Amino acid sequence: KSGLIKNAEMCREILEKAFESSFVACEIHGAAFLGSSCLRAFRLGDANGTAVDSHNVSPTITKCWKVCSRIVNLLGKGLMHADEVIGNACAQGLVISFSYDGHDAPILNPFLYEGFALALNELNSALKKFNSIDHADPTRASTLIRAAGVLLAASTSGAGSRSNTEDVSVDLGPARLQCTEALFSILGGAAYRKDEELSLAVGEALAAYADAFGNAKWSNESEIWPDDYDEVFAFDLPPHQHVLYTLFQREVTHTNPLKRNASAAVLLALVAHASRQANLGRMDRAMVKQVSKNINLFQNSFIKLLSDPKSKQLSRESCCRGLAACRGLAHTLGDDGGI
């Protein structure tokens, strides 16, 4: 671990220079990738080795976690950098840092809460900026959307925690909810108008968020949903219900035809993800169960969007593929009688 500390500390020092008046872009670019790789190696290597109580952790491990947390914070700050190369490198660095190989996201270490929450806040601001009329940029939005999906999935275990940094209190839970809202705002937004395929990226990010913990037990699950969209109710739901409730009760029925068009690709990404998991024998995952339970809502939404006179090609194609995925999922689960 001493080698990781040395490399991570070097990368942290270089990343700090990205916000000075003069910097070397190639150095920042390299530090973002090397630093994120060090963070990932340490995070996964020490996934079960650090106690929640910081008093039981050795000074060396504590120092490494603090350096990693600072790297996460700096990568988040770099998302809105004026230099596009640096901004994209920071987004990709966050993806590397919090990617994982298993089916469920590893538990987020408490030492990372503060840096993670700050990075999420920066990510929310970056998503809004590059989806605004004045700064719409589909390329940067695409990398940010992918990073959002990975960060939302990785932070699920710390959703209810709070971190304090000087005079500002940063809540991980609200930052996650703001991030999901920023993703939904991409649908039909200025960046989407330049590249409609961003809706597919949003769908994949929301699928990762909804399926981060497949077999977790949620205390705030609700079997009965209000007929009209209620933001307070939506924010209190677990991820797999939060995504579906918002889509069905707000996005699919939106008065903006661009929103409705974009929601078709998101619905396709969700049902395709659930179908893939079911085909691999993972029918007991919460997200798969929730999608299968609402399979008729998916089907009816696809048919409604397909018949919409303002539907565009990507939306129509998503609906057709989505209906096929619904049929495949129902057949895999042995409940295709009503499809």
Per-residue pLDDT band for 165 (boundaries 50, 70, 90) equals very low
pLDDT in tens, 220-245: 788 888 888 999 999 999 999 999 99
Cβ contact 240:287 at 8 Å: yes
Residue 106 reports pLDDT greater than 90: no
Q: Answer yes or no: is pLDDT of 114 > 90.
A: no
pLDDT tens-digit readout, 115-156 = 999 999 999 999 999 999 999 999 999 999 999 999 999 998
The whole-angstrom separation of Cα 111 and Cα 63 is: 10
> What are the φ and ψ backbone dihedral angles of 168, each rounded to 5 degrees?
-115, 130
DSSP annotation string for 183-196: HHHHTTSHHHHH-T
CA-nearest of 67, 169, 199, 176 to 120 is: 176
CA distances from 311 to 64, 303, 306 (A): 52, 11, 7
Q: Is the confidence at residue 167, as pLDDT, over 60?
A: no
- Region of poorest pLDDT, from 50-54, 91-95, 305-309: 50-54
Encoded tokens for 332: 């895999």
Top-confidence residue, 273 or 334: 273
Please list the residues that pair with 164 across neighbouring strands: 169
List the structure tokens of 184.
């939904």
| Beta carbons of 15 and 56 less than 8 angstroms apart | no
Cα gap 35→185, rounded to integer Å: 31
What percent of the chain shows pLDDT beyond 70?
Answer: 91
* Structural contact between residues 65 and 50, judged by C-beta atoms closer than 8 angstroms: yes
| pLDDT value at 189 more than 90 | yes
CA 98/CA 307 separation, integer angstroms: 40
Say what the pLDDT of residue 51 is: 40
The CA distance from 160 to 162, in Å, is 7
What is the residue whose two structure tokens read 């999906």?
149
User: What is the secondary structure of 41-57 as a DSSP string?
Assistant: HHHHHTTTTS-SSGGGS
Residue 332 has pLDDT above 80, yes or no: yes
How many CA atoms lie less than 13 Å away from 153 in the CB half-sphere? 30
Average pLDDT over the chain, rounded to an integer: 89
* pLDDT for the residue 164: 47
296 within 8 A of 338, measured Cβ to Cβ:
yes
Nearest to 30 by CA among 43, 13, 5, 6: 13
pLDDT in tens, 23-81: 888 999 999 999 999 999 888 887 555 544 445 677 888 888 899 999 999 999 999 99
75 close to 90: Cβ distance less than 8 angstroms: yes
Q: What is the pLDDT of residues 195-225, one digit of tens each?
A: 999 999 999 999 999 999 877 777 778 888 8
Alpha helix segments (H runs only) across 59-170: 59-77, 84-98, 113-129, 138-154
Burial class (CB in 10 A: 0-12, 13-18, 19+), 333: middle
pLDDT tens digit sequence for 172-182: 888 999 999 99
Please tell me the predicted confidence (pLDDT) of residue 161.
Answer: 59
Q: What is the model's pLDDT at position 1?
A: 53
Res 2: pLDDT: 64
